[in-house]
Amino acid sequence: MLVKKSVWIVGGDGWAYDIGYGGLDHVLASGKNVNLLVLDTEVYSNTGGQQSKSTPRGAVAKFAAGGKPGGKKDLGLMAMTYGNVYVASIAMGAKDEHTLKAFLEAEAYDGPSIIIAYSHCIAHGIDMTTGMQNQKVAVESGQWLLYRYHPERALTGENPLQLDSRTPTRKVQDFMLMETRFKMLTKSKPEDAKRLWAEAQQDAEKRYRFYEYLASRKPVLTDGD
């Protein structure tokens, strides 16, 4: 009873984005010092590979045999709107020191924290031994963003959002060609694949510009600040 307890709730994207989102949102809104870790495989891995709200545009999964037509739900952005929740998006294969920093900050923050971790999965149709390389390309292409939102930064006049991803240096297609979940659509429905891949590139570019804009803004201070 004399030692500070570290409380972590761990789950996948099917739970966090879909069937368990109501509970997850309730924990974030509680203001309690609880940490959540989302292992985001972008698919319902344990129930046969069905699409989830985390599945990106163009990915093939059960109930999305023709490639998911819509974009991915932005769970991190939704969590940031509370203003008092620590939020981080990480990919250990892309930047391990960033991953460590996010965990340390989340644990030290006296309030709700959520870390969304890119998690490569056998359902992606990859050689699992190269999973970390896939994570790196996901970040380099802008398919996955690295960032940290720390509410306490606003208390010192700093923007709470830090965009830790650099400007994408590769195309989203470079990442998609590494994974069967995307590549198989080029054989079954090549025209749809071409269209969806172009839209996925637009998704990545818009998302990066939007986060870049948010991270560049000055924090809004109250009258007493």
Query: CB neighbours (10 Å) of residue 47?
Result: 10
pLDDT tens-place string over residues 69-110:
999 999 999 999 999 999 999 999 999 999 999 999 999 999
pLDDT tens-place string over residues 97-145:
999 999 999 999 999 999 999 999 998 999 999 999 999 999 999 999 9
Percent of the chain with pLDDT over 70: 96
pLDDT at 133: 96
pLDDT at 220: 62
Cα–Cα nearest to 146, from 196, 201, 207, 203: 207
The stretch 158-167 carries a mean pLDDT of: 96
pLDDT grade for 223, boundaries at 50, 70 and 90: very low
- What's the mean per-residue pLDDT of the chain? 92
Residue-range domains of the chain with CATH: 8-216 (3.40.50.970)
Q: Helix/strand/coil (H, E, C) string of 34-96? A: CEEEEEECCCEHHHCCECCCCCCCCCCEECECCCCCCCCCCHHHHHHCCCCCEEEEECCCCCH
pLDDT at 108: 96
pLDDT grade for 44, boundaries at 50, 70 and 90: confident
Burial 198-212 (b: 16+ CB within 10 A, else e): ebbbebbeebbeebe
pLDDT at 86: 98
pLDDT at 170: 97
Sign of the alpha-carbon dihedral angle for 138, 7, 79, 87: negative
Cα–Cα nearest to 166, from 94, 76, 106, 218: 94
For residue 89, what are the β-bridge partners?
116, 147
Query: CB neighbours (10 Å) of residue 191?
Result: 8
